[in-house]
Structure 1
Amino acid sequence: MLQGVVSPRLAVPGHIARPPYADDGVVRRWDEDRVKSPETIERMRHAGAVAAEVLRLAGEMVKPGITTDAIDRYVHQLCIDRNSYPSPLNYNGFPKSVCTSANEVICHGIPDSRMLESGDIVNLDVTCYIGGVHGDTNATFLVGDVDEASRQLVQVSEECMWHGIEAVVPGRPLSDIGRAIEAHAKNF
């Protein structure tokens, strides 16, 4: 896959609350309690809902001829319009507001000037910081006419995710999640 040109980082208005790494790109150790208060959980739900809405709208842009840089600019503005900080921006120096992983890029792809083409698949990873918490979501989108193997990859990957989520049970080992995912994936 050819890499495009990465445009300059976009600015975030001063009134938007920022995560601790926003200015210097340094991600520090997180010392918060792992057990969240009901108020924090509600803020997490809100941040997740904001991220889900931004992802849905960004997904509507996915089509042949659009650049991932254009998607990044749109996601950036959608976050700002919702008084949220686009969490990927400057996280460990990441230069963009959304991760866009096309085709063989596994994750955390950097948006650039490359145009999406019919037959591509692209994952959009949207995270919004609002209310002192991050809402994080992603989805993989089909670009134009996609071959059956790619369609099946996207479908089975989503099914694997749901099998993994269903395996999250209090008191059960984390390894159960991987086993559930692997068991489903091996069927294909």
Structure 2
Amino acid sequence: MAVDLKTKEHIRGIRKAGRIVAACHKALSKRIAPGVTTQEIDRFVERFMLDRGATPAQKGYKGYPFATCASVNEVVCHGFPDSVPLETGDIVTIDMVADLDGWKADSAWTYAIGRTTASTEKLLSIAKQAMLDGIKQAVPGNRLGDIGFAVQSRAERAGFQVVTAFVGHGIGRSMHEYPEVVYRGIPGQGIELEEGMVITIEPIITAGRAEVYIGPDGWTASTRDGGWAAQFEHTVAVTKEGPIVLTRWE
């Protein structure tokens, strides 16, 4: 299967969608608090995108009914927004994809709700750093194994595990494009990265074991042992000047 390489004009289109995603995450970071529900967050995100001329690309994708995935504590990804208030000490990952003029950008972020524990702060810190380590490897001439190895090494050195059941992906006109970005690997192996590739780097890191199960809704993935999980994701363009994060806000 061939990689759909993007021109500079294409990347500008994805960046415009990415700016909406970034602005939405920035706004959410000030709104997420104890007592807020993920259902309220979902409505906020959908309205935020629509008000800026974009649409939430996840809504309706393969029948998914919401504008966001909202994954609380032991839910690793694809959690359904609901009416349960978030509590102090919880963590929640909000994953969103904006479609603007046919170009898509994807970013997930794990938020701590109120005060949290030192162990949870460490999980969040390592998960974010693992993403950043992966992004640093997204340069022409490197291989997907370099990204996976960087992520896996950061997580395992800190005593955490990478959930390997879920992967990153190419993105552009479609939400999921070739190639898949796996978060374990051997340096120098896998598909070679080329200028013009746009991929998501979105490892999920767990404090427990990496095994997951899918709930009865057919979407919600949770750790089998109840260990909490954190995920940070950016949409990244591979360029000769280095990796360009198209969804940066933090």
What is the TM-score when the length of structure 2 is the normalising length? 0.60
Q: How many residues align?
A: 158
| Distance in 2 of aligned mates of 1:74 and 1:91 | 19
State which of 50, 53, 56 in structure 2 corresponds to 1:86.
56
Q: Any unmatched runs of 5+ in structure 1?
A: 1-30
| Distance in 2 of aligned mates of 1:162 and 1:80 | 30
Letter in 1 for 2:21: A
Q: Is the CA contact 1:59–1:124 (under 8 Å) kept in the aligned structure 2?
A: no
State which of 125, 132, 144 in structure 2 corresponds to 1:155.
125
Structure having the higher helix fraction is 1
Name the structure 2 match of 1:185: 155
Same amino acid, percent of matched pairs: 35
Q: 1:32-181 alignment to 2 at 5 Å? A: 34-181=4-151
| Distance in 2 of aligned mates of 1:186 and 1:97 | 33
Change (3 A) 1:172 1:32: closer
SS, match of residue 31 in structure 2: coil
Larger radius of gyration: 1
Name the structure 1 match of 2:178: none
Q: Is the CA contact 1:54–1:126 (under 8 Å) kept in the aligned structure 2?
A: no
Change (3 A) 1:175 1:72: same
| Distance in 2 of aligned mates of 1:147 and 1:79 | 33
Cα distance, 1:93 vs structure 2: 0.8
Q: CA RMSD in A?
A: 1.6
What is the TM-score when the length of structure 1 is the normalising length? 0.80
SS, match of residue 76 in structure 2: coil
Q: Which runs of 4+ in 1 moved over 6 A?
A: none
| Distance in 2 of aligned mates of 1:125 and 1:111 | 11
Q: Is the CA contact 1:87–1:128 (under 8 Å) kept in the aligned structure 2?
A: yes
Cα distance, 1:32 vs structure 2: 9.8
